Amino acid sequence: MDAAKKLEFHTIEDIYTLPDGLRAELIEGRIYYMAPPNTRHQKIVSDLHYQIKDFIRKNNGECEVFPAPFAVFLNRDDTNYVEPDLTVICDEKKITDKGCNGAPDWVIEIVSPSSRAMDYFTKLFKYRASGVREYWIVDPIKEMVMAYRFEKETMEQYSFGEDVPVGIYEGFSIKAQ
């Protein structure tokens, strides 16, 4: 491998200059291109988004939920940029016109065949290290939800159809399907 290619380092500026329609994320200066989501993926995102937004609204919550594409600048630097499938932010000072500056409170990723390693490994460690409080990996192929509650240092696994308690909200659970 060419040494220059091996050491290639990217910033958010490179993300902003991508051709229209091409989406990518940036972790520690490395670009990860994203495939378009399939219909099942989008149905899951829509359903979860609705359940979360409805709970927040009915409980006069101060958090906001955003579906992808929504920019998250994890470390408030120019080498980390992600677009989680769902992002919940409870500190309004982190929300700007460009997205979220800093770690969201809760992130949900819906696994697709092309994102499996990214969601289960790369993002898991990045989200934890950046201060995300809760991270869910929803896997439509395995029909499972992995719920990581970093503040409590717990991880629980649920099957689709089971109630999945939300760690950042007392008394709130969701059924992924």
Nearest C-alpha neighbor of 136 from the set 99, 100, 174 = 174
pLDDT at 7: 63
Summarize the confidence of residues 95-109 as an average pLDDT.
Answer: 96
User: For 4-22, how does the pLDDT look when each residue is reduced to its tens digit (9 = 90+)?
Assistant: 455 689 999 999 999 988 9
Is residue 76's pLDDT more than 80? Answer: no
